Structure 1
Amino acid sequence: MFCRLIENFNSVSKLKKFEQIAGGDFPIVVDMRTEHKNTVLVEGSFVSPFEKTLPNVMDAENSIARFQLVLPKEWTTKYKPVCIHLAGTGDHTYSRRRFFLANRLLSDGIGSLIVMNPFYWKRKPKDQKGSSLNYVSDLFVMGGALITECHTLLKWCEMNGYGPLALHGISMGGYMASLCATVWPKPISLIPCLSWTTASVVFVEGILANAVDWNTLTKQYFDDSVYCDQIRPLIQPSVPDRYKCTSTAATATNIG
């Protein structure tokens, strides 16, 4: 299954192949709509497109994507701009992003769509404790699911007349927002905060390094040749030929 996950994630991260995965119809259900003095709150859900690609890789709770839409009751211009906010590590609910981000954007006439992260809050597997994922493979499921779900939400926003659109996230959310932007075929604003192009350093050298069971992973790696022979080349491919220094190039460099 690990090989399938990595191969699928590589497909998800490529624009042309991505349309084959997320190009279908995934109906969004509006579960709740509440009107307040100046705002409208909408909560919705839909089956994650990732479930179609790799059936049963997520449990029942996790396979349902959920979001909260925060809109101004009256738009001040002909445009209806919406910013999609992806969760940082440990940001399980909507409240923090709604209070610190969505409410402030409302004063500028900008709506917000707050996405519930896979493996978080109502999507958290029953045997998972807090924000700590049970398996390394869950990271690939989380990333693949978020990219496909975000793509579905962007299409839904367009169909409902919202735009221009933006993607935003802090820390892990910023990294995921960057991934989502790469597969959206149209111009879109991207605001990643406190993030980078990879999350690897956080688990290897950063604050989450001590949360990883390195002893078990090391034992599995050396006990099963599949990890070394098949899985590692998929995650960390060898250096492409175009980047290798040939003997001819090396000789020319020494002569120069």
Structure 2
Amino acid sequence: MVAVNVGAAHYWLDHLYGAIMHRMRLAPPFFSGGWGGRKLELLEQMSRQLIAQGLAQVSLQHWPPPAINPVWRTVWESRKAKLQEGIFTTPCEDMLKQVLPIESQTARVRLLSPRHVPIHETSFVVHLAGTGDHGFDRRLRLGGPLLEKNIATLVLESPYYGKRRPPLQRGARLLCVSDLLLLGRTTIEEARALLYWAETEEGYKKVGVCGLSMGGVHAAMVGSLHRSPVAILPFLTPHSAAVAFCEGILQYGTAWEVLMRDELLSGSMTREQVVERMRTVLSLTDVTQFPAPQNPKSVIFVAATDDGYVPDHSVLKLQQAWPGSEVRWVRGGHVSSFIFHNKTFQKAILDGLDRLP
């Protein structure tokens, strides 16, 4: 009998998936359109100003988030549950709207909620998308079983994804590096507005925000900026997008040669210099630069022991930045955990909400 190293098998499954998706070029690479020119300069400037002024102070100055007024239609309803779809104009500031694709300026959400249960007895969780998670179905499947615990699931379709995708973009492969920052900034503003809407307009008493991979990075940022206690549930999440694109498997799906040529306009750069430039740009997505959340005991990270996309040190850096938070480890890689550990994610959501005051 041949002994099998299960951990290594999970790790190599991530690499096999990455090889099929990225190295074999079955889809165009990320950032085939380059850095994004002046759009990237604008986003870098705005992000650095936020960090320089102190995010905690800025979040207070920008509190409450802009009001939203979703327009709803019922998709289906049963004796115990109801699924609604809503749209609203993104609440991003005008300067961002000027560079955001028109297709991405209308936010789309789906809300799965229990029927015949008073709002004040129902919890509410916003689910944010990971890389490549178009539409709503996967996250609705994650939230569906939580209806029995009177937890409503709201799924936000990311800008640049699904019906919000610009016509020249293929799949999840963003055309420019600036698009990644725009996607993140827009998602954060929309999710902040949704949490505030749920509390103040709808009357939910306990709210949370979760996400897997890229969605977990955004969930952590959203939760840290919220001014009342909120459950924060980042799953399979690095502390920064720089880890995913410069250290993890996504580096093999990145158009480094295009980025090198794009930088030649302002001076010749080597592959190593371009990677370092990417690290600098994506350091703006570093969650550890954001303020500690109001109730760190309601922060539960779920990480995989053999993740080929997110190294252990990145997860532990998040926990160290937010003392009092918890990390739960599952046996698996990024891909296998995404498929097989929904019950662990659901338990983290339940426990995070239970720890709210």
- Band the TM-score falls in, shorter-chain normalisation: 0.7 to 0.9
SS, match of residue 49 in structure 1: coil
Shift of residue 2, structure 1, vs aligned partner = 1.8
SS, match of residue 42 in structure 1: strand
1:161 matched to which residue of 2? 203
Contact 1:88 1:172 in 2 (8 A): yes
Contact 2:120 2:204 in 1 (8 A): no
1:241 matched to which residue of 2? none
Shift in CA distance, 196/234, structure 1 to aligned 2, threshold 3 Å: closer
1:48 matched to which residue of 2? 90
Aligned pair count reads 233
Residue identity opposite 2:70 in structure 1: V
**Structure 1 position 70 matched with structure 2 position 112:** yes
Greater helix proportion: 2
**Structure 1 position 220 matched with structure 2 position 258:** no
**Structure 1 position 205 matched with structure 2 position 243:** no
Q: Name the larger-Rg structure.
A: 1
Contact 1:88 1:170 in 2 (8 A): yes
1:17 matched to which residue of 2? 58
Contact 1:22 1:148 in 2 (8 A): no
1:83 matched to which residue of 2? 125
* 1:1-256 matched pairs, under 5 angstroms: 1-10=39-48, 14-18=55-59, 23=64, 25-33=66-74, 34-75=76-117, 78-99=120-141, 101-158=142-199, 159-224=201-266, 235=281
Contact 1:89 1:173 in 2 (8 A): yes
Shift of residue 62, structure 1, vs aligned partner = 0.6
Aligned residues with identical type, % of pairs = 30
The CA distance in 2 between the partners of 1:31 and 1:47, in whole Å, is: 13
Contact 2:65 2:192 in 1 (8 A): no
Contact 1:76 1:109 in 2 (8 A): no
Cα deviation digits, residues 98-157 of structure 1 (max 9, x gap): 12x121110111111111111100100001000100000001101110111011101110
SS, match of residue 61 in structure 1: helix
Instruction: Show structure 1 runs of 5+ residues with no match.
Output: 238-256
Q: CA RMSD in A?
A: 2.6
Residue identity opposite 1:55 in structure 2: K
Contact 1:51 1:63 in 2 (8 A): no
The CA distance in 1 between the partners of 2:241 and 2:144, in whole Å, is: 29
The CA distance in 1 between the partners of 2:224 and 2:262, in whole Å, is: 33
Instruction: Show structure 2 runs of 5+ residues with no match.
Output: 1-38, 285-357
Shift of residue 208, structure 1, vs aligned partner = 1.6
1:252 matched to which residue of 2? none
Contact 1:7 1:234 in 2 (8 A): no
Calculate the TM-score normalised by the size of structure 1.
0.82
